[in-house]
A and B are shown apart, each in its own frame.
Chain A
Amino acid sequence: MSQINDKILLTEKKNGVGIITLNRPDKLNSFNDELSFQLQDALKEMEKDKEVKAIILTGSGRGFCAGQDLQSRSIAQEMGQKPSLGDSIRRRYNPIVTKLRRMEKPIIAAVNGVAAGAGASLAFACDFRIITDKVAFIQSFTKVGLIPDSGATFILPRLIGATKAFDLMLSADKLTAQEAFDLGVINKVVDEADLMTTATALAERLAQGPTKAFALTKRAINKAIFDDLEELLEYEATLQEIAGRSEDFEEGVKAFVEKRPPQYKGK
């Protein structure tokens, strides 16, 4: 698959709407270090930009975001030495989740394809989710011996209930577009061709609304269900640090790279 652009993150601004596009289509827009830092910067800029009143987060190509790029250099390096997944999450993913929640502008995830691992977490951290009928969300973390991160351990249970969330996390089963819609965490399921027009129409409508009241409403919802956001993200990073030191994680990544089933020991 050829890259349509050299840049791994695209931003544009139109009619009061900021659009951020993850742009590593040949890697299903999975995160390497660089992409996570660029996303942090893009969100910061759009928060500051007074002309941006609503934001769309989407991906290019056939995936939304496959989460951590397990083959990216940094993880390989981290594997070589003592891996510190906790620190990696604190530096790379947690600031993104914090910004998505704390920024007082509505953020729409326009989910164009599979959202796995941290990719699913980010979609769930947004305020709106508009998806195509081909989308699936996968809590893929436990497949490689990790815990769900980037807020998934508390955002998902708060959105769909702990029973279903725990099931999805341990099975790493796909949550299909229809199932997700039935669980009430999707605003709209549309045809692939209509995704961006639908998301843009919603964003432009929001941008023309009483944005101060929208901002205060988001603040109130954050207070009601995400007041402990920073504390729980930190706790999740600490637990991921533990999981990252396990033999199971080492085996999980090895098996993934070697494309064979992993042999876990539970430690």
Chain B
Amino acid sequence: MRMTTTTMTYTNILVEKQETSPGSGIYIGLVALNRPSALNALNNHLMQELVEAMQAFDKDDTVRAIVLSGSERAFAAGADIKEMADETTVSIMSKDNFATWDRVKAVKKPIVAAVSGFALGGGCELMMMCDMIVASETAQFGQPEVNIGVIPGAGGTQRLTHALGKYKAMEIILTGRPMTANEALQAGLVNKVVPVELYLEEAKNLAIQIASKSPVATQLAKEAILKAFDGSLDDGLRFERKNFYMLFSSEDQKEGMKAFMEKRKAKFVGR
């Protein structure tokens, strides 16, 4: 049995730490969206709790990777429309609630999204802020904002285009139609599609696999990969090279390469 510990109490999310193997002292952080009555619609309070929980995991040295999930029925059906229906351009700009969302992007540790049911609108955008996506066969993805007279506002036009390419992204965003799990897999939006009974476990397994590597290396790799999405190739390559050189001041690099030459498994310490 794996140890799990509940860390803090929130209203809209459930947060846990799960040890990767008994006694390892290494954990994955689990965050589950938990507004079942609203199909996990992402209101401002929920997003603040989510960011808080993720930042706490980011600071916790024993946590190496994070799994973000919803429920079997819905990862998240969207942003909370009720909350913004009456906003004006000026009022919505001055509240700037999306600033909270932007802080998800600053999380350094790898995040695996475990997605079942609806991942629509803001739910799809939150999912795309994660680094890997494990989907259940029953998952449905889409950006239906045009159906209610708006457009994606939390990164959908950019991240979906990066994932699918211009033409497919145009179709999905301009028609607002949902994609099935298999279509999303073929289009390159998700890493893996598994039966609904196992999606959370598969996502955890992926996180556990990552947790066994040097956290210094996985975090710098994540940072460098994300760099590929802004700026020129030359900038990205320079950034990658810098991170690569930087790792040579870590103990994990010394241990990792030594273990490789000695044909044994590396013991990473996270420094």
Contact with A along B192-230 (1 / 0, CB 8 A): 000100000000000000000000000000000000000
Q: Is B44 an interface residue (CB 8 A)?
A: no
Q: Tell me whether B180 and A230 are in contact (CB under 8 A).
A: yes
* Inter-chain contact B180/A219, CB cutoff 8 Å: no
Query: Which residues from chain B contact A230 at a C-beta distance below 8 Å?
Result: 180
> A220-231 toward B: CB 8 Å interface, digit per residue (1/0)?
000000000010
CA distance A115 to B69 in the complex (A): 46
Q: Which residues between 140 and 171 of chain A lie within 8 Å of chain B, taking CB atoms?
A: none
Query: Once the chains are docked, how many angstroms separate the CA of A230 from the CA of B195?
Result: 18
Interchain nearest-CB distance for B228 vs A (Å): 33
* Chain A, residue nearest B195 (CB): A219
Q: A219 — nearest CB in chain B belongs to which residue?
A: B195
Interface size class of B (residues with CB under 8 A): under 10
Give every chain B residue within 8 A of A216 (Cβ-Cβ): 195
**Chain A facing B: main interface SS:** helix
A168 CB to nearest B CB, Å:
31
Interface string of B170-182 (1 = CB under 8 A from A): 0000000000100
C-alpha gap A169/B113 in the complex (Å): 47
Q: How far is the CA of A219 from the CA of B180 in the complex (A)?
A: 16
Chain A residues within an 8 Å CB radius of B195 = 216, 219
* Nearest neighbor of A227 in chain B, beta-carbon distance: B182
**CA distance in complex: A216, B180 (Å):** 20
Which residues between 195 and 237 of chain A lie within 8 Å of chain B, taking CB atoms? 216, 219, 230
Kindly report which residue of chain B lies nearest to residue A212, judged by CB atoms: B197
Distance between B171 CB and nearest chain A CB, rounded to angstroms: 15
Cβ distance A190 to chain B, nearest Cβ, rounded Å: 36
C-alpha spacing A247/B195, complex, angstroms: 46
Give the docked Cα–Cα distance between A216 and B137 (Å).
13
Q: How far is the CA of A219 from the CA of B195 in the complex (A)?
A: 9
A21 to B114, CA, bound (A): 40
Q: How many Å from the CB of A32 to the closest CB on chain B? A: 28
Q: Chain B's nearest CB lies how many Å from the CB of A17?
A: 25
CB distance from A135 to the nearest CB of B (A): 35
**Complex interface residues of chain B between 153 and 203 (CB less than 8 A to chain A):** 180, 195
For B180, what are the chain A residues with a Cβ–Cβ distance below 8 Å?
230
Complex CA gap A23/B195 in Å reads: 37
Residue of B nearest to A220 (CB): B195
Contacts of A219 in B (CB 8 A): 195
A153 vs B126: C-alpha distance in the bound complex, in angstroms? Answer: 41
CA distance A216 to B195 in the complex (A): 10
Q: How far is the CA of A230 from the CA of B180 in the complex (A)?
A: 10
Nearest A residue to B196 via CB reads A219
Task: For residue B192, give the distance in angstroms from its CB to the closest CB of chain A.
Answer: 15
Chain A residue nearest to B137 (CB atoms) is A219
Minimum C-beta distance from B137 to chain A (A) = 8
A216 to B198, CA, bound (A): 13
Chain B nearest CB, measured from A94 CB (Å):
14
B224 to chain A minimum Cβ distance, whole angstroms, is 37
- Chain B 8-20 near chain A by CB (<8 Å), digits 1 or 0: 0000000000000
Report the minimum CB–CB distance from B117 to chain A (whole Å).
Answer: 15
Q: How far is the CA of A237 from the CA of B195 in the complex (A)?
A: 28
Question: CA A219 – CA B198 in complex, angstroms?
Answer: 14
- Bound-state Cα–Cα, A230 to B181, Å: 13
Question: A229-267 interface mask toward B, CB cutoff 8 Å, 1 = contact, 0 = none?
Answer: 010000000000000000000000000000000000000
The contact sample of 3 A-B pairs, CB cut-off 8 A, is A216-B195, A219-B195, A230-B180
Which 3 pairs from chain A and chain B are nearest by CB?
A: A219-B195, A230-B180, A216-B195
